[in-house]
Amino acid sequence: MTDHDALLRAICANSADDTPRLMFADWLDENASALPDPVGARDRAAFIRGDIAMSHLDEFAPERLRWGLIEKPRREGDGWVRRLPWVTELLNGPLLRRGFPWGIRLNPRQFLAQADRLFAETPVATLAFASNDGAAGELFRSPHFARLRGLRVHRAHLPERVVARLADAPVLEELNASDNGLSPDAVGSLLHSPLFPRLARLELDSVAGGPLVVRAIADSAGPVRLRELSFARSGLTGEDVRRLLTASAVVGVERLRLSGNRSGATGLHEAVARLPLEHLHDLDLSETAAGPAGLRVLSTSLTLSRLRRLVYRQNGVNAVLAAELASCYEVSNLRVLDLASNAIGNAGAIAIARSPHFAGLLVLNLSYCMVGDEGVLAILESPLADGLVFLDLTGSPASGESKELLKAKMGDRVRA
């Protein structure tokens, strides 16, 4: 076995340990001149070290935000990345984590057939599939599956008898069963199984019987590790969200996604605002169409004052509401604000740019917000032009001249 292969096996066998990855980076540097692509090898070594270093920073550290939003996507387009085996694009995720491919999209039969080679060549941690090929039961019994920490299963409608085997997965901690990846009975069984208390991340977007699932979560007892929870487009009402947020199982949740739940949206906002979770710092209420009342109840809440990221896309926010939000002290802790597809116009952008409460913003998404020349000029003249790590003005009707001035000031920190 070559040193290259031995190091890869060590990485795959100890995927949580940075040391073998850093040793591999050193090996790439030391042997680059003898490899087919010396420049690519050195670039890969530098990427591995950089990706690992950034993974240890606070997620809202400016350096890490820049790495994740600008530097890393750019470098993942390099040729050496595309030549790596098993590189897979998974929704809402980078190609590489801590320098290596981390997720794979294979149906159960494909995974079982290729697992030996897969785990010898890359430290894969997450499997995604979107069809029921009849081999899911065999997959969940496989010793290879027992090595996975994440599972994404969509549109497979896996039955309860198959899903029951997930409870035996020793290290599984992330489950995405959105778009009816599991049957309704299977979801209920899962929430009452020994697996649920071990999950740190659970995504049940567009799940059938969302309110019933919420009740099952509310009925669960005992300590739970849950830190990330997503219930997008699941037909939840304000009462459902109230029940969810008062459940002991969600006490430790740090990231919550409720986007696309339009039924009783004002009540949803009231529940989120009045039942603050102590650890919640990342909230997505996009496409909840709450109107002025919803945003106003949220804007003066303890919940908002604790948030570091707020995603509030396509909610009918106009210039008046944007100005009201900008005037609230409660937004002072926000580091990421995403208002994409809200027609706040120039007046709304000016209010945000001039607000002292937004001085700490690091990422601002105003794409498709109808921000024209006046709004762009206000941003240019504000502290945001220097302080923002990334500004998204995609779809802006501003003139080419205004956009060029912005790019001259902000460089690759702006997209317009």
**Span 256-315, pLDDT tens digits:** 999 999 877 789 999 999 998 999 999 999 999 877 889 999 999 999 999 999 999 999
- Please give the backbone phi and psi of residue 212, each rounded to the nearest 5 degrees, phi first: -70, -35
* Contact predicate 174/150, CB 8 Å: yes
Question: Where are the strands (E) in 133-233, listed by range?
Answer: 150-153, 174-176, 201-203, 228-230
**Span 94-117, pLDDT tens digits:** 999 999 999 999 999 999 999 999
Question: Which residues touch 148 (CB under 8 Å, ≥6 apart)?
Answer: 124, 125, 126, 127, 169, 171, 172
**pTM attached to this predicted model:** 0.96
Report the percentage of the chain scoring pLDDT > 70: 100
221, pLDDT greater than 80? no
* Contact predicate 357/328, CB 8 Å: yes
Which two three-digit tokens encode residue 303?
Answer: 């919940």
Taken in order 83, 88, 93, 96, the sign of the CA dihedral is negative
Which two three-digit tokens encode residue 146?
Answer: 């027992």
Say how far apart CA 284 and CA 168 lie, in whole Å: 32
- In 3D, which of 382, 384, 350 has the Cα closest to residue 369? 350
Residue 6: which pLDDT band, with cuts at 50, 70 and 90? very high
Question: Which residues touch 290 (CB under 8 Å, ≥6 apart)?
Answer: 265, 266, 268, 269, 315
Q: b or e along 25-56 (b: 16 or more beta carbons within 10 Å of the residue's beta carbon)?
A: bebbeeebeeeeeeebbbbbbebbbbbbebee
- Please give the backbone phi and psi of residue 146, each rounded to the nearest 5 degrees, phi first: -65, -15
**Span 306-339, pLDDT tens digits:** 999 999 999 999 999 999 999 999 999 999 999 9
* Number of helices and strands in the chain (H, E): 20, 15
Which two three-digit tokens encode residue 309?
Answer: 């990221």
Say how far apart CA 36 and CA 31 lie, in whole Å: 10
**Rounded alpha-carbon distances, angstroms, from residue 92 to 33, 222, 318:** 36, 31, 28
Stretch (H or E) spanning 336: strand 336-338
Q: Which of 26-30, 189-193, 228-232, 407-411 has the lowest mean pLDDT?
A: 189-193
- In 3D, which of 372, 308, 359 has the Cα closest to residue 338? 308
